[in-house]
Amino acid sequence: MMKASDIRDWDDVEIRARLGELREEKFRLRFRRGTMELENPKMVQHIRRDLARLNTILRERELAKMPETTDDVPQAADETPETTDETPEGAAETSDTTDETPETTDETPETAE
């Protein structure tokens, strides 16, 4: 099992190489687990955690390289425009309470022969 403090001393190339190795090892272990031949079933869990640790450190480095911008910050809740539920002036209200239904027929037109 690797320690995060040790991994942080590595450069990105080493981390990515180790990620590739661990992914291959995880695949092999999962395959062997399917055939019930694992000597140490906990190895899959250790590899998963090491993969997550490596990916986390890579992501931390990505985020550290990104410049912080304040232009993309969404507006605060108190700065949103106010909306009202009132009907605009001059708009006529319509009533959908008509009892008329369109007539439908089950007849099919006869075809000329």
Residue ranges and CATH numbers for the domains of the chain are 4-65 (1.10.287.310)
Identify which has the larger pLDDT, 104 or 3. 3
Q: What are the distances in angstroms from CA 67 to CA 56, 71, 72?
A: 19, 12, 12
* pLDDT tens digits along 20-68: 999 999 998 888 888 877 788 888 899 999 999 999 999 999 999 888 7
Q: Which residues contact 15 (CB under 8 A, 6 or more apart)?
A: 7, 54, 57, 58
Give the mean pLDDT of the chain.
Answer: 77
